């Protein structure tokens, strides 16, 4: 019984999707660290310089003794947008282009045509549509 359980677990772990997901999570975590550092160390000071402030990541307000770090939230939002932009333009778009090139268009069948009335496929030599019985020119 236990042997069968471990066999199923082994098959699950060695399945391509689980391994791909694990690799994606590890790479995503590393990439997230890089983007967070980019936002914190380069973009935040740049935006702060534009708005003539030292650093907006520490901006906050206090209500009844509770401190709200809205500047830190702005950094996190910029990080999220940058990750989304990079994933879209460097992963999704190239994969879409690659997949569209990989798709083979079905060859045009020179032995058939479409009926002008019902748009069904009919032989080129047909004088009447077999589906809607309209006469063809």
- Check if the beta carbon of residue 68 is closer than 8 Å to that of residue 62: yes
pLDDT, position 63: 94
Domains of the chain (ranges, CATH numbers): 2-103 (1.10.1200.120), 109-137 (no CATH)
Q: What is the pLDDT of residue 86?
A: 78
Quick one: CA dihedral 87, 89, 91, 96, positive or negative? Answer: positive
Q: What is the pTM of this model?
A: 0.49
Structure tokens at 80: 């999220």
Confidence label for 16 from pLDDT (cuts 50, 70 and 90): low
Percent of the chain topping pLDDT 70: 90
pLDDT tops 90 at residue 101: no
Give, as one character, the DSSP assignment of residue 92.
I
Tokens of 38: 């980019």
What's the pLDDT score for residue 1? 65
Alpha carbon distance 40, 37 (integer Å)? 5
pLDDT digits (tens, 9 = 90+) for 56-81: 777 889 999 999 988 888 878 887 88
Residue 82 burial (CB < 10 Å; 0-12/13-18/19+)?
Answer: middle
Q: How confident is the model at residue 7 (pLDDT cuts 50, 70, 90)?
A: confident
- Torsion 43-47-53-56 (CA) sign: negative
Mean pLDDT across the chain: 81
């Amino acid at each position: 019984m236990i042997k069968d359980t471990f066999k199923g677990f082994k098959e699950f772990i060695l399945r391509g999707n689980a391994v791909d997901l694990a690799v994606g999570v590890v790479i995503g975590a590393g990439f997230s660290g890089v983007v967070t550092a980019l936002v914190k160390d380069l973009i935040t000071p740049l935006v702060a310089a534009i708005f003539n402030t030292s650093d907006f990541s520490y901006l906050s307000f206090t209500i009844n003794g509770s401190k709200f770090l809205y500047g830190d939230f702005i950094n996190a939002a910029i990080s999220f947008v940058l990750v989304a932009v990079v994933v879209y333009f460097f992963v999704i778009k190239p994969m879409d282009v690659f997949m569209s090139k990989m798709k083979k268009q079905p060859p045009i069948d020179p032995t058939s045509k479409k009926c002008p009335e019902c748009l069904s496929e009919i032989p080129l030599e047909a004088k009447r549509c077999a589906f809607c019985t309209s006469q063809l020119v």
